[in-house]
């Protein structure tokens, strides 16, 4: 594996008219860490180091907060004034009360307030990309999203949003949304051993020039011995192999691993340089009995 540590080594993708490196960063853990006690200075250092290493795509949300801090506020503190090429993607739909409990999904009318909340917290006059998130973390959204996505499309026309995406969705939602306004990305839970039923969805998005952005791509629990063996062969961590596998699924796949550690951040971004052979990819596709069939 090359010693280069730069997010650009995995190549780029277009989110509408915005060019992003395929290796990005997810900010959720900065606010919602394991015990909620992540050091503030450390969080700011992680964000600044990410940008230094070429990350120009950061994923966040106003509902990423703990009693101690907010991901959006940390991003603004660390990076504002923002680099010209930095793309900040946020999500709306879910809401959280001050005690951290989740509220019912936002109505079309409430979505404007959520967009304005993100704009204010980030210190922007518009949002680069807004994903409409439906359903819950455990349950993929169901039913029509037309009224809510239509409300965001109106905010896009007003100039508050530059580009739109959808999250926690199926192919039917993409078709429904595309009939209302252009969709630049789909953000779903997806990984080597998680929700591989979306393999075909990744390819469908590629056909439509839509980015597919997995979250929790490296969460694994007990590690598979195949992943461990390939990691050992390359002298890298199993998490880096999982990230590299993710990026190999198609040029439209964008990685947004999150961490509160500068060391782990550097490891994650280094995975952008990791190239897996066809034989290794075939071995990985056999993990958990999955039938090979990559989207690249």
Per-residue 3-state assignment (H helix, E strand, C coil) for 96-107: ECCCCCEECCCC
**Mean pLDDT of the 270-280 span:** 97
What's the mean per-residue pLDDT of the chain? 92
**Mean pLDDT of the 12-38 span:** 87
Q: Which residues are catalytic?
A: 64
Q: Percent of the chain at pLDDT above 70?
A: 92
Helical packing angle, 71-79 and 40-52, nearest 10°: 60
> How many alpha carbons fall within 13 Å on the CB side of residue 144?
7
Q: Give the CA angle between residues 293, 217, 86 to the nearest 5°.
A: 115
pLDDT, residue 296, reads 32
pLDDT, residue 290, reads 58
> How many alpha carbons fall within 13 Å on the CB side of residue 219?
10
pLDDT, residue 2, reads 45
* Dist CA 74 CA 130 (whole Å): 19
In this predicted model, which residue has the larger pLDDT, 26 or 136? 26
Contact 287, 227 (CB under 8 A): yes
* Dist CA 265 CA 272 (whole Å): 12
**pLDDT band at residue 3 under the 50/70/90 scheme:** low
DSSP lists the bridge partners of residue 196 as none
* Dist CA 283 CA 88 (whole Å): 35
pLDDT, residue 138, reads 59
Q: In CATH, what number does 12-287 get?
A: 3.20.20.100
Task: Judge whether residue 269 has pLDDT over 50.
Answer: yes
Domain boundaries, the chain: 12-287
**Mean pLDDT of the 199-203 span:** 97
pLDDT, residue 35, reads 53
Q: Which two tokens stand for residue 167?
A: 């999250």
**Mean pLDDT of the 161-177 span:** 97
**Mean pLDDT of the 268-272 span:** 97
**pLDDT band at residue 220 under the 50/70/90 scheme:** low
pLDDT, residue 115, reads 98
Mind listing the pLDDT tens digit for each residue in 46-61? 999 999 999 999 999 9
């Amino acid at each position: 594996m090359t010693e280069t540590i730069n997010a650009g080594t995995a190549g780029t993708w277009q989110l509408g008219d915005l060019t992003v490196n395929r290796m990005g960063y997810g900010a959720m853990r900065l606010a919602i860490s394991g015990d909620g006690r992540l050091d503030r200075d450390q969080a700011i250092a992680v964000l600044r180091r990410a940008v230094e290493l070429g990350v120009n795509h950061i994923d966040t949300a106003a509902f990423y907060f703990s009693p101690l801090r907010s991901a959006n506020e940390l991003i603004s503190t660390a990076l504002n004034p923002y680099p010209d090429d930095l793309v900040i993607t946020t999500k709306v739909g879910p809401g959280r009360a001050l005690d951290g409990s989740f509220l019912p999904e936002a109505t079309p009318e409430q979505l404007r307030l959520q967009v304005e909340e993100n704009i204010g917290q980030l210190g922007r006059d518009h949002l680069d990309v807004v994903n409409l998130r439906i359903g819950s973390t455990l349950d993929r959204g169901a039913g029509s999203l037309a009224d809510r996505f239509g409300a965001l499309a109106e905010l896009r026309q007003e100039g508050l949003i530059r580009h739109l995406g959808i999250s926690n969705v199926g192919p039917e939602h993409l078709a429904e949304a595309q009939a209302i306004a252009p969709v630049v990305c789909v953000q779903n839970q997806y990984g080597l051993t998680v929700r591989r039923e979306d393999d075909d969805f990744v390819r469908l998005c590629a056909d439509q020039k839509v980015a597919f952005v997995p979250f929790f791509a490296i969460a694994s629990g007990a590690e598979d011995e195949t992943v461990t063996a390939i990691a050992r062969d390359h002298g890298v961590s199993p998490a880096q192999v999982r990230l590299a596998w993710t990026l190999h699924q198609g040029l439209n796949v964008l990685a947004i691993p999150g961490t509160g550690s500068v060391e782990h951040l550097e490891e994650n971004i280094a995975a952008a340089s990791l190239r897996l052979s066809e034989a290794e990819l075939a071995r990985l596709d056999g993990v958990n009995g999955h039938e090979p069939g990559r989207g690249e």
